[in-house]
Amino acid sequence: MTPILVFDIETIPDVAGLRRLHGLDPALSDAEVAEMAFQQRRSQSGSDFLPHYLQRVIVISCVLRAGQDVRVWSLAEPEQGEAGIIQRFFDGIEKFTPQLVSWNGGGFDLPALHYRGLIHGVTAPRYWDMGDGDYSDSRDFRWNNYISRYHARHLDLMDLLALYQPRANAPLDDLAKLIGFPGKLGMDGGKVWEAWQAGEIAGIRDYCETDAMNTYLVHLRFRLMRGEMSREEYESEIRFIRGELEKLDKPHWREFLAAWTD
């Protein structure tokens, strides 16, 4: 079976980049720099959501289902800087050539990783392989690669379920809870910058991991719906995942399991 790699990222404003782009006074605090950027963005678009290239990646959480095993882990600060986090993520794709699964990964996570990887000089030949050019070692990637929107190596569940219509998009938190999965616990993406400033790095990592797991569970339900899994296989996988999370015996997974009603 092709390995399945579900991923989610968390970001904060690229304060250092904002200082460089705008030649800001060094006396300004990081919070003041970010607030200036938010205000400027609100005046331009009505939202304080910064452009993808100004989103500094601080966590990438992954669920890898390969063979008989499932692994959940995070690439995160302070253990690694942004360049190392992104490079290791793409190194995993290089190693496993997995089926990538995300929720809005095509709209946010991957474009952010593209820009930030470009800034840091990250290399990702397998990910960018489209089956053409002398550097390609697999012509199959011409017909099925990670980049083309309607190819299958990256499955953006939100985009597909909405039939590529933004007005039909659904929040992962709502959909997961409607199914009976835990949904978001204790934090959402809008609180990450605040939590970062408060030094709650571990909490951000835990939140990102549970988001990745919610995405994996919704993906299982999708595989059941499309006939890729039988009802028995689906229920067996659900039991397996519950059991593996119980073994982790960490506070955020205990909370996750307690909120799981399906």
Q: Residue 258, CB half-sphere, CA atoms under 13 Å: how many?
A: 8
- Name which of 151, 193, 188, 155 is nearest 171 in CA terms: 188
What single letter denotes the amino acid at residue 121? G
The answer to whether 176 and 183 are in contact (CB under 8 A) is yes
- Residue 11's region, left for phi above 0, alpha for psi from -120 to 50, else beta, is beta
What was the pLDDT predicted at 30?
96
- The reply to whether omega before 111 is within 30° of 0 (cis) is no
The CATH number fitting domain 4-258, selected from 2.30.30.110, 3.30.70.100, 3.30.420.10, 3.40.50.1100: 3.30.420.10
Sign of CA dihedral 13, 20, 41, 147: negative
φ/ψ (deg, to 5) at 110: -70, -45
CA pair distance 236, 70, nearest whole angstrom: 14
Length of the chain: 262
Q: What is the pLDDT of residue 133?
A: 65
Ranges of beta strands (E only) in the chain are 4-13, 55-66, 69-76, 99-102, 154-156
**CA-CA distance, 69 to 62, in Å (whole number)?**
14
The answer to whether the beta carbons of residues 123 and 130 sit under 8 Å apart is no
Q: What is the reported pTM?
A: 0.95
Per-residue pLDDT of the chain (262 residues; tens, 9 = 90+): 899 999 999 999 999 999 999 999 999 999 999 999 999 999 999 999 999 999 999 999 999 999 999 999 999 998 999 999 999 999 999 999 999 999 999 999 999 999 999 999 999 999 999 887 665 667 788 889 999 988 899 999 999 999 999 999 999 999 999 999 999 987 777 899 999 999 999 999 999 999 999 999 999 999 999 999 999 999 999 999 999 999 998 999 999 999 998 7
**CA angle, 227 as apex, 247 and 260 as ends, to 5°?**
30
